[in-house]
Structure 1
């Protein structure tokens, strides 16, 4: 059996210090009383606390739909607050002269546009009334066509007899232009005394004056290229 190694001088010094610091007497009464009070308070607290339930506590369930609705409501409120703040800021800031002038011009343009639009129905009514008033006049003949220098007649005009009679009294006035127009107008062969080119019902035509028969004279109104007259008139003999 081998002998245990001898302790080093450092270990011997530690042992001496421990032996000198050892307390062999009883524990002080104040320390014992403090320990007893601490233990008693711990026991009382454990006895007053409810026993933990062994049943598992379910975790709270979060309604995702309600949460999304709350978030959407909060977002709308925030957006409305931003808009209100922007409007208030725009009203509070002073406007420059250019902005004021531009706003005035825009307002003036809007008023003028509104007035023009409101006036349009009146103008249309006036135009319609004018058309209604002049519509019957369109059935009447115009004595001279401004473009061709020839009489313009309508076979349906009730006053055609009087107009042709007036033309007969003033044939020399239309004779120059009538000669060229008659050369391009195809008419049936008749024993006429005189022919006068004219615009008849919006087409090239002619008036064919027959020889007077007693107190009357027959006048046929033709459209060029049509064998039959569109109207025949009986005028007093010249």
Structure 2
């Protein structure tokens, strides 16, 4: 598919973060890693949510299931040296941070090419973009090339049109944040894939196609800032 033909920089670092929990950060981070691996890249995942370690558990499930492993590392505090070391040995590094402002989030923003911001279309999740914008603006002082892409996630298929319209209207107040064209809607494939240690790109269906398109958007965002 056309997504495979995208040109990648030698190494990219992605931070998947939000100022609010429960928006599907780890799901997006892990599926991004799996799709990049499927494209022939060598991704590494840094799990910076020490309260849950969901990404590491997911990576362990892949090994037990005999699936291609995703190297996953625990990270806490100032992660600059961790990201720099992984930057030297992998094609891509994906940092999964816990919800809220944190040292892990801030060091990730300084080091990253792209900040991926999953959010639902619910008002309380969209409202969390305002404090995130303040943090991003501070990071731009040190990393002016950081791109930000907001991803509508966990959207109900029945109400997707209205959620998308409302989100677009809301994001007009954040002109430096790009809203991904690809929307991730709720589907059984997401929970099924997680249960089996898989990514949705390893299961045929609409969720697979959506994640492939979103990955292409995220990669492209790095060159558009």
Structure of larger gyration radius: 1
More helix by share: 1
Could you state the TM-score of these two structures normalised by the residue count of structure 1?
A: 0.18
Could you state the TM-score of these two structures normalised by the residue count of structure 2?
A: 0.19
